[in-house]
Amino acid sequence: MNKPLEILSLSKGNYIIKGDLTFSTIDKSAIKALKLEQSDTAINIDLQQLRKIDSAGLALLIEWIKFARTYQIDLKFEHIPAQLFALAKLCDMTEIDLFTLKNT
């Protein structure tokens, strides 16, 4: 059974994702919960309480990375679960490609 997705703002630019980040749990309201704003200079997303992730969840993380690159935002994912590493490896993405983004 899927655990509902929650994206919680801890403070400006700091978020935690809880539950499942999967095709069946991602919807427009979940996507809007993470308020990526052009005015942000840094965003940290904690994945420690992420229970499951699939290719749809990976695709959403990639979209957030693209947004951050477009607006020169430093985006970091923390506490990355092994399942996400395995999925990224399967998609031929390196750790640096997905989990660390610094604009120089």
Tens-place pLDDT, residues 27-83: 877 777 666 766 678 889 999 999 999 989 988 888 888 888 888 888 899 998 888
Q: Which two tokens stand for residue 97?
A: 């490609």
- Structural contact between residues 13 and 35, judged by C-beta atoms closer than 8 angstroms: no
Residue 70 lies in a domain: yes
Residue 20 lies in a domain: yes
* Band of residue 98 on the pLDDT scale cut at 50, 70, 90: low
**Least confident piece of the model among 20-29, 77-86, 93-102:** 93-102
Residue 1 lies in a domain: no
pLDDT the model gives residue 84: 85
Domain containing 47: what range? 6-101
What is the number of structural domains in the chain? Answer: 1
| pLDDT greater than 90 at residue 88 | no
CATH number at residue 90: 3.30.750.24
